[in-house]
Amino acid sequence: MQTPTATPSKIRRFTSASDYRKRFVIQEQIDKYLPGGKHYIDEGEIFSTLSTAEAARANDPVRIREILAKSRAIETLLPEETATLIHVTDPDLLLEMETTALAVKKSVYDNRIVMFAPLYMSNLCVNRCAYCGFSCGNEEQKRRVLTMDEVKQEIGVLAGKIGHKRLIAVYGEHPDTSTDYIAETIRTAYSHLVKSPHGAVVGIRRVNVNAAPLPIEDLRVLKQVGIGTFQVFQETYHRATYAKLHPADTVKGHYDWRTPRSTARWRQAWTMWAWACCMDSTIGSSS
């Protein structure tokens, strides 16, 4: 009988950081989600929607309450509705917005709190983000990549001693810690069972990942090893600010590769809200 041959992996591999920088971004996978070359975040439209809402003086209680009722019904808000809420200044309406936000939170999550432990697997990175100590331009940084034995030791403490069941595994962006490494660390985290102080056998039930955007083929590999959530930090959606913080000759400097590849209009409302919340706040992340 013939032994079936394994399906060859479609994960691309890279010989060095500079090879990775040159070849990692796959233009076809960007173009596929930009119909007609148009990005789902239309900055001109966002600014115009915000100015229209500002000019309309967003303190009309009837209109605001209509939008809040829609929120309470857990319906997605349109960009115009989000812009209207952003411009509310009336203290009573602001209070109604706060109580609505709490009601929405309770309706979706109730009082459930989910705890997860961050586990930094590596701090190698090919990028030079202006706000990050992992930047490859930071020569002071001591570089580390956890071995599988070290991952097990960490699980021993996080699951065995502290009692965590969920991880957020964090990786810099580098060929030495690309998809093969991420998959191996996830497998190791799931398979390493330890004894709790009460003698029970415990382990990690869900490994979420915080890493750089990956090609579709690589995401399939992570799905196969049972990843929880794949999380990509986006410190700002505002192109000019993004360009200031992420040098253009880096992988992360490629805004269209970085941003979620989608065309849904509701994302514009979310983006507008994210601008409003993040433009003045401190930026910090990994990958």
Q: Is 175 in the site for ligand SF4 (CB under 6 A)?
A: no
Contact letters (x/-) for ligand SF4, 87-126, by CB under 6 A? Answer: --------------------------------------x-
Q: Which is nearer to ligand SF4, 160 or 213 (CB)?
A: 213
Q: Identify which range of 23-31, 38-46, 76-84, 279-287 contacts ligand SF4 by CB under 6 A.
A: 279-287
Query: What minimum distance in Å lies between the beta carbon of 130 and ligand SF4?
Result: 9
Q: Interface with ligand SF4 includes 208 (CB under 6 A)?
A: no
Q: Is 286 in the site for ligand SF4 (CB under 6 A)?
A: yes
Applying CB under 6 A, the site for ligand SF4 has a residue count of: 12
Please name the amino acid found at residue 88: V
Nearer to ligand SF4, 52 or 138 (CB): 138
- Site map for ligand SF4, 245-274, x if CB under 6 A? -------x----------------------
Q: Hey, which residues between 115 and 174 contact ligand SF4 (CB under 6 A)?
A: 125, 127, 129, 132, 134-135, 172-173
Round to whole Å and give the CA distance between 208 and 228: 5
CB 220 within 8 A of CB 198: no
Q: Give the residue carrying structure tokens 């233009």.
A: 27
Q: How far is the CB of 149 from ligand SF4 (least distance, A)?
A: 24
Measured CA to CA, the distance from residue 211 to residue 161 in angstroms comes to: 26
Residues 140-156: b if buried by 16+ CB within 10 A, e if exposed: eeeeebbeeeebeebbe
Q: Is 177 in the site for ligand SF4 (CB under 6 A)?
A: no
Quote the least distance from Cβ 222 to ligand SF4, whole Å: 18
Residues that bind ligand SF4 (CB under 6 A): 125, 127, 129, 132, 134-135, 172-173, 252, 285-287
